[in-house]
Structure 1
Amino acid sequence: MTTKTNRPHVLMMSEITADGKLTLKKGASSKILMKYMAHETELLLHNTRAEYDAIMVGANTIRIDNSFLTVRYVQGKSPLRVIPCSLADIPLDSNVLGPDAPTAIAVSEAAPKDRIEAIKAKGAHVIVAGKTRVELPLLLTILKEKFGVNKLMIEGGPTLNWHMLHDRLVDEIRLIHLPFIVGGSDTPSLVGGMHINSEDEMIRLNLKKYYLCGSNLVSEFDVLYGEAP
């Protein structure tokens, strides 16, 4: 198990609706909801990006949102963009492969060599971290040791969020609460992944701060792995 000493400190940051959803429906871009954030909250998001060494989202989020993941609304340097993509099949016209900020695509040893070369031709770094799929603990170790990443934020979808929490790689969670209910049994929520079998498997949080940012409630938690309630 990767420890805090050989991986970056990790913040999970996301906007969620009152019923915990990330989008309007399965396959819809999160940008639709994000446009309803208060301007002050947009500044908070971009200030946070500027404070971190790297930002990570999953490849499926890139396919749907085609985000830039850069600092735009405040002064500051854009972080290294990190995209786990086991088979290196990220669309080559993705905005994260543009020149706005450095990018690292994490792949597995199973990724086709021609796809890897095509990504490198776009100017991105390629990190091999795992045999058949990207192993997130290994990826975070590489990011710290070879790229100098001490602080990593993730703006992931439910799959990346689940795997990061399941591997005990998240230290803090910051949520931007949007005053909407969208419903839908298959609408993506903050964390996807496997169902748990008992309350013993719940990941416990400690609420450390909450405040209004413009018109949005923001809550901040520490993640408590394996600690008693």
Structure 2
Amino acid sequence: MKRPYTVLISEMTVDGKLTLKRGLSSKIIMGLMDDESHRFLHQKRTEFDAIMVGSNTIKIDNSILTNRLVEGKSPVRVIPNSDASIPPGSNVLNSDAPTIIVVSENADKEKVNAIRSRGADIIVCGKDRIDIDGMMERLVDRGISKLMVEGGPTLIWQLISKAMIDHIILIQIPYIIGGDSTPSLVGGPGVDSIEDVVSVELTDFYKVGKHLITEYDLYYNGKNAKD
């Protein structure tokens, strides 16, 4: 299967949390990042053909997903949204950068047309739910060879469960939040057996401003995702 080289880049607290409570925006803890780390994140965006987040992230955060802090292009924005339920006033549907919304065949046609009327490109892939494999192939067909994923936890799990994340870059925010139900980096059902865990290899670490940055390659069943 052809797919883009895919890198997960995310900020998270020392205890791996993405926000204060379930249902709250991740922009809350992003406000704890210093200027250097914000520029680092935006610089990374310029290095990819496209940036992807899940539709729930759009609904909660109303993300813009463009480069606004450094010189360089903004990536194409890709939002998997099987039922076309993102609000038509979402920031990702503005004209700041091209946007692809991926929907299923059974998505409400009026909602699809409302999104399309905002200038977004629509990819239909999968009957009831988005076919992740097919979506990645279609992105390659559209010239996307390097894909950055910023969240959220459900989308990240879907990609990891299909061995589609090649590399991870984590921006550690030096705070602790806690909370049994507070969202962490990876959601979904998780693995059922120790034999199914995904192993990672630390490839680099450095500081940007007051934040520790760590980078990892991923291994699925002992095989590097890039092999």
Show the counterpart of 2:67: 71
Show the counterpart of 2:175: 180
CA distance in 2, matches of 1:157, 1:212: 24
**Identical-pair percentage:** 50
CA distance in 2, matches of 1:195, 1:9: 23
- Alignment pair present for 1:116 and 2:109: no
TM-score (norm 1): 0.95
Give me the CA root mean square deviation. 0.9
Note the alpha carbon deviations across 1:145-184, whole angstroms, 9 max, x for none: 1x10010000011101100100111100000001111111
- Alignment pair present for 1:83 and 2:79: yes
Show the counterpart of 1:148: 143
Counterparts of 1:124-143 in structure 2 under 5 Å? 124-143=120-139
Given that 1:137 and 1:169 are in contact with CA atoms closer than 8 Å, whether structure 2 keeps it comes out as: no
Note the alpha carbon deviations across 1:181-203, whole angstroms, 9 max, x for none: 11111100000111322211111
Given that 1:175 and 1:219 are in contact with CA atoms closer than 8 Å, whether structure 2 keeps it comes out as: yes
Which residue identity is paired with 2:175? F
| Stretches of 4+ aligned residues off by more than 3 angstroms | none
Question: How many Å apart are 1:48 and its aligned residue?
Answer: 0.6
CA distance in 1, matches of 2:36, 2:132: 32
TM-score (norm 2): 0.96
Given that 1:40 and 1:213 are in contact with CA atoms closer than 8 Å, whether structure 2 keeps it comes out as: yes
How many equivalent residue pairs? Answer: 223
Which residue identity is paired with 1:215? K
Show the counterpart of 1:167: 162
Show the counterpart of 1:24: 20
SS at match of 2:134: helix
